[in-house]
Amino acid sequence: MDEDFGGGSSGASQTYPQQCSALRKNGFVMIKGRPCKIVEMSTSKTGKHGHAKVHMVGLDIFTSRKYEDICPSTHNMNVPNVTRTDFQCLDIEDGFLSLMGDDGEVREDIKVPDSDVGKEITQKHSAGETFVVTILAAMNEELAVGVKQVTH
């Protein structure tokens, strides 16, 4: 039987289930289909036959939009697999970063973000500095979230 399971190249799933009660502030969770960083959490007690409910407020890790969700503490929520990777910045062309990974692989598919990080990247590049850009990745989306000076 020839079955094709189209998926990520790493073979890892994009999310994994975690019980609501095990989630923590500053952790990650999927809210309304978006990968969020939990910024507030509270648990409410309920009636004698009910479940405790967990109220979560999360900020989308890519857009910083605020999302809220309430779920019974015994239920599972999806947690996004979030990775951070450092790439050396080689160039900026038409608003896209030219980045080189540790493996020598060059990528040119990540935009300069419209944020303070983006401004810092542009300034360092203009000044001819050598620096590393941290790329946050989850759910097939990627964003430059940090800049580090390279010291030789």
**Cα 87 from Cα 53, distance rounded (Å):** 41
Provide the pLDDT for residue 12.
Answer: 61
pLDDT of 60-116, one tens digit each? 999 999 999 999 989 999 999 999 999 999 999 999 999 999 999 999 999 999 999
What SS3 state is found at 112? coil
Identify whether the C-beta of residue 56 lies closer than 8 Å to the C-beta of residue 23: yes
pLDDT of 23-50, one tens digit each? 999 999 999 999 999 999 999 887 676 7
Provide the pLDDT for residue 76.
Answer: 95
Identify whether the C-beta of residue 121 lies closer than 8 Å to the C-beta of residue 112: yes
Range 35-40, long-range pairs (CB < 8 A, 24+ positions)? 35/60, 35/61, 35/62, 35/80, 35/82, 35/138, 35/139, 35/141, 36/60, 36/61, 36/67, 37/61
Residue 5 has pLDDT above 80, yes or no: no
> What would the two tokens of residue 131 be?
């620096």
Residue 4 has pLDDT above 50, yes or no: no
Provide the pLDDT for residue 151.
Answer: 72
Handedness of CA 30, 24, 63, 53 (dihedral sign): positive
Residue 22 has pLDDT above 60, yes or no: yes
